[in-house]
Amino acid sequence: MQPAVCSSTHKEAPALIAPRFPILNLDERRLTPALGFIFDARWLLPGESIVSILWKFARANGLPGHALVRLMGVDIDPYEGVEPIRDAVDLKHLRRMLLLPGKVLRASLLESGQRGRHHPVFRYCRQCTSLGHHSVTYQMFSERRCPARRQKLETKCQHCGQETPYILNASLVGSPYRCARCGALYAIRSPPAFATKPAMRKEHRIAIARHFHNRMAGSFCLDSDDHDL
Ligand SMILES: [Zn+2]
Ligand SMILES: [Zn+2]
């Protein structure tokens, strides 16, 4: 990921821990980073899902789930939520709010024409979740294992055995790296605090990036111009 798209107010990706309170002057209808917000595109791998992006946003800035779901479109009820599908989300609005490149956001959402080919529930790799990553490819029926360590993708919470609908709502977005039903962590530990060095090993990041590009580049139109949004 190129640092040129960094939207952080800092030049270096800051080491940080989740603050105990929102650091934004937050308008419920509009994310207004009057004081600046913390986010660095280097925290993202190619194909990072919108849920993963929003979890990083939530944790880094102490934002509640309902405020982030509202970024999906002004008419979306944050508790009912919206499918993480490209034609269901207001991408222009989202891009303006998160200040991320259009191609990153497009790639983070499921393809509109492929309804029925995605798991309707959140599906994850335990190892990747412990390192703060969830890929859009993990939601696809055609994918069985994580490309990094070949771990089996799972849908059930290890604690309560429940599955969580893969819908962008206040419940899912407001539970970073945890089961939205019981609150237990999906992995043994939560991801480390964001630091200047990525938590995931380089060979695993390469394997994930390569797999995403091989599998998805064509359908995600990754070369199209951001100005199309
Ligand atoms: Zn993994
Ligand atoms: Zn659970």
For the stretch 175-220, pLDDT in tens is 999 999 999 999 988 887 666 677 889 999 999 999 999 887 655 4
Is residue 25 one of the residues assigned to a domain? Answer: no
Is residue 3 one of the residues assigned to a domain? Answer: no
User: How many domains does the structure of the chain reveal?
Assistant: 1
Q: Answer with the residue of higher pLDDT: 185 or 114.
A: 185
What does the pLDDT read at residue 97? 82
Is residue 35 one of the residues assigned to a domain? Answer: no
What does the pLDDT read at residue 210? 93
| Cα(128) to centroid(ligand 1), Å | 4
Is residue 37 one of the residues assigned to a domain? Answer: no
| Contacts of residue 143, Cβ cutoff 8 Å, sequence gap at least 6 | 137, 153, 215
| Cα(228) to centroid(ligand 2), Å | 40
Is residue 160 one of the residues assigned to a domain? Answer: yes
Question: For the segment 42-85, what is each residue's pLDDT rounded down to a tens digit?
Answer: 889 999 999 999 999 898 888 899 999 988 888 899 999 999 99
| Cα(32) to centroid(ligand 1), Å | 34
Domain range spanning residue 60?
A: 45-220
Is residue 23 one of the residues assigned to a domain? Answer: no
Is residue 51 one of the residues assigned to a domain? Answer: yes
Q: Give yes or no for residue 9 having a pLDDT over 50.
A: no
From residue 117, alpha-carbon distances to 121, 141, 210, 212 in Å are 12, 6, 22, 17
